[in-house]
Amino acid sequence: MRIAIISDLHANIEALNAVLSHIADQKVQDIVCLGDVIGYGPNPRECIDIVKNGRFCLMGNHEEAVMFYGEDFNEKARQALEWTKEQLNSPQYDRTSNYEMWNFLGSLEESRTEGDVMFVHGSPRVPTKEYMVPTDVRNREKMTEIFSLIPSLCFVGHSHIPGVYTDNFQFLGPDKVGGTYTHQGGKALINVGSVGQPRDGDPRASYVVFDGRSVRFHRVDYDVRTTMDKIYATPGLPNYLADRLIVGR
């Protein structure tokens, strides 16, 4: 079965729609989301409505924060968090619609394992909050503990940096594997990157397609300027959140 795995949409409907259009050409059977549907961007309700129809969605740190409290968020992220809460409670929508939004967020799992494949937002060790970044391959203690929790493969998001972490302490960016990683034994952790806010210097949306053995990394152009203009026009969202989109940081 071929599945598309997306993550870190961050309320960016232009990026999400572009990715969904691209996925439609990939002959996939299901779409899985690893969390952070909301936060930072201007269209949280629209993105939630779309993701609800996928195979499953996991809880990211932004869903966790909007349900509880983002104590570890910086000031800009916290401003966006408060604005997002207002949108989900908006009197412009009937109470039933608002309740459905909150019920969906409250129902999200922190992780899921199907056979020998694990899905989680951050890391197997701290599902919603721990980042996996390329320099972690030098931290043998961290990597050894994380790989001890992985059955065979693990898909994550959260850091917004796509690539493959192997159990022999290597990080392989998509370019290093020619855009496709084929699992040939051992264990691997795959970061699928971010749909709505890439941070690897490439502003295009990122996602992967997984066929049970191979992982294909995809980058998709979208109308970044439209998303930026929406953020600039929204008093509750810092301009910085728009500025970073165009540079992929």
pLDDT, tens digit (0-9, with 9 covering 90-100), for 172-217: 999 999 999 999 989 999 999 999 999 999 999 999 999 999 999 9
Task: State yes or no: pLDDT of 71 exceeds 80.
Answer: no
Residues of the domain holding 158 = 3-247
CA distance 24 to 94: 32
**Can you tell me the mean pLDDT for 73-91?**
92
**Can you tell me the mean pLDDT for 5-32?**
97
Q: Pairing mode, if any, of strands 163-166 and 111-114?
A: unpaired
Number of structural domains the chain divides into: 1
Task: State yes or no: pLDDT of 70 exceeds 70.
Answer: no
- In this prediction, residue 73 has a pLDDT band, given cuts at 50, 70 and 90, of confident
**Can you tell me the mean pLDDT for 126-140?**
96
What is the Cα 51 distance to its own chain's centre?
12
Task: State yes or no: pLDDT of 157 exceeds 80.
Answer: yes
- In this prediction, residue 68 has a pLDDT band, given cuts at 50, 70 and 90, of confident
pLDDT digits (tens, 9 = 90+) for 84-113: 999 999 999 999 999 999 999 999 999 999
**Residue-level pLDDT at 1:** 79
Number of neighbouring beta carbons within 10 Å of residue 149: 15
CA distance 211 to 207: 14
CA distance 240 to 154: 32
CATH of the domain at 43: 3.60.21.10
